[in-house]
Chain A
């Protein structure tokens, strides 16, 4: 069996590599090519780079596409750029903007994996007669005794991207490969140096790709000019504390930059954004305790394992997994009961479930509740 799990020679195994132009996917493609695989590089043009950086007349392809193409040229494997601007705008960017209008905190990277990369691009890979598709994500794929693929957290926990891949279906997973999942980022960098990749020194991307400098509010304003509507900032006890210039500027759990004098109450406790009310156009703030939640309601779930109740759940990409009980419901819904209340859980984010290191799927958070006070009473 070859390293990608096929009973044939690498040169007879065609693998489509989704190349972003970053170090990780470039190393993935170059390494598979070095191992003798029939590598086909594909880079998606997702948005007009010139327009995104407000430079009219700039070339429509950004530096990343250029880098991916150069690496394919250097290693002499075929590479194609696919125009996914309209798919991306419809399924990712519009959803991103609408999500803010609903008072949510979206994760466009998951939507992109779910709709563009692992759906549309995967179909192209099938059409090109590929045996599998590889990406540079940090996540481990293993095959269990029953012959089914499983996903496990990356060895490098600081790089683990399992949270962003919760929506990967079992069918997609069978076709996907993640050659970097067993590595530290340092190992990837070393390979990039060894292979002489022109982007070996390129810093990791931190921002959402279509939001330059992290200024998501300006993107939302541009797409939905009516989004920036001034309204009231209200305390959970009903007092009006001040004005805000649009709920798109706020996210649940936010403490800084609320725009109300001092941002603290009489007892010197800081205020937090507790809730966003798009209907009334209110930002509701309160003390930290008001953020506590121990019940999470999920929709559009995707599961990669059978019935399990005792799980760990990650509620943000950067938070650590918390012990909880999972209850699956009909129509892709589920409820999660946290053992201990958590603070700052935002609708629009994903709740991703784990058993040990195995990522077993998750869902989109649409509501939260707290019954810990009742229980305590």
Chain B
């Protein structure tokens, strides 16, 4: 089999070689960052360097940033601090938001076909305002900056202003996992109080994330124990992981213009795929989208089959969401966008990144045409049988 091709960056991006090299060094260094001796001081400096690099990526001060085990922990930390109070979350959030606020009210997103020229998969602004104006003021609103399945960029700044104008005491959280290092983020301008990050979506290691809290916002805390991270998050720091996170953030920040060029590859791919199969729908196609993500719906062919067939051909793509057993479940994001069952069962996601080349796209198109041809023939055979 020829070279394997990875097109699942939104699930986890390949580790940047520079981050790997740095982590290998750090892993050989002993020392707890809380210790007084030189070993401890060395570990501490690794962490603080990373804190500066990541803060620079999103335009905040390093002292606002707390390292966590990942965005799931960051999201849980924020959402669980508001339990029992009124919370609004978008209907297309990641499960780490939805499941940690089961009682939250869902803000709907725009659906295709309701009106001409509509950008689907974005927060429905009027519905959002209605939710703000009815009942008691919400304590917390959580809206992701970029959706992991469609890549649609949510108008978080505008929505935050709308909310704070009506209720100045409201707190806003954004899960910026899929946005960081891909579009420019200026956290103060976004008007949000909390922002979650993950290292491995931007070429850092898995198992590290961060939670950034704006000055003056309510402190939130999930883990109790030692006094690490200025008593805001207990537990010995994952020094090597944090260092790798910092390196990945630094590279992503300087590479952000190149990231926008991925849109050329993505558009070519969508165009070529449309040419080989007529029943194709690109979700959120006309909405503001990050450059690397395509959520594609195929009526009549199951995404499960397509993902397996591509995998056997050495190409890794994914369905929007995978259950723990590895089976494909219908996507709640696409359902929220009004997609029918047939469309959600035929939906798959291609997400590319820093190591994607044009020849990868050509291979994908070539394999997809073989699969479409084959499955159409077997479908006809089955129909006639």
Contacts and interface: CB of A to CB of B under 8 A. Distances in A.
B305 A128 contact: yes
B312 A40 contact: yes
Given A40-B312, A171-B385, A124 B324 contact: no
23 contacts: A40-B312, A59-B324, A60-B324, A60-B325, A61-B324, A78-B311, A80-B304, A80-B326, A83-B323, A83-B328, A83-B329, A123-B382, A124-B304, A126-B378, A126-B381, A127-B309, A127-B371, A127-B374, A127-B375, A127-B378, A129-B309, A129-B312, A129-B374
B331 to A, nearest CB: 13
A82 interface: yes
Given A127-B305, A128-B312, A171-B385, A81 B378 contact: no
How many of chain B's residues touch chain A, expressed as a range? Answer: 20 to 34
A59 B327 CA distance: 13
B125 to A, nearest CB: 36
A92 B267 CA distance: 44
Interface in A113-171: 123-124, 126-129, 171
Main secondary structure of the interface of B (DSSP, over half): helix
Nearest to B307: A80
A25 to B, nearest CB: 18
B382 A128 contact: no
A349 B343 CA distance: 39
Interface in B267-326: 304-305, 308-309, 311-312, 323-326
Contacts of B325: 45, 59-61, 65, 81, 83
Interface in B304-362: 304-305, 308-309, 311-312, 323-329
Determine which residue in A40, A78, A127 has the highest number of CB atoms from chain B within 10 A of its CB, and name it: A127
B378 A82 contact: no
A118 to B, nearest CB: 13
A49 to B, nearest CB: 9
Interface string B34-66: 000000000000000000000000000000000
Contact of B305 (A60, A61, A124): A124
B302 to A, nearest CB: 8
Contacts of A171: 385
A60 B327 CA distance: 10
Given A127-B375, A128-B312, A82 B385 contact: no
Contacts, number: 52
How many of chain A's residues touch chain B, expressed as a range? Answer: 10 to 19
Contacts of B385: 171
B355 to A, nearest CB: 23
Contacts of A60: 323-325
Main secondary structure of the interface of A (DSSP, over half): mixed
A69 B324 CA distance: 13
B2 to A, nearest CB: 15
A36 to B, nearest CB: 15
A110 B328 CA distance: 26
Nearest to B328: A83
Interface in B359-382: 371, 374-375, 378, 381-382
Determine which residue in A45, A59, A129 has the highest number of CB atoms from chain B within 10 A of its CB, and name it: A129
7 closest A-B pairs by CB:
A61-B325, A83-B327, A126-B378, A81-B326, A127-B305, A127-B375, A81-B327
A312 B352 CA distance: 62
B288 to A, nearest CB: 33
Interface string A71-94: 000000010111100000000000
Contacts of A78: 308, 311-312
Contacts of B328: 83
B142 to A, nearest CB: 25
A80 B325 CA distance: 10
Contact of A82 (B324, B327, B371, B381): B327
B304 to A, nearest CB: 6
B353 to A, nearest CB: 24
Nearest to B301: A127
A80 B324 contact: no
Interface string B20-43: 000000000000000000000000
A61 B312 CA distance: 23
Contacts of B324: 59-61
A63 to B, nearest CB: 12
A129 B370 CA distance: 10
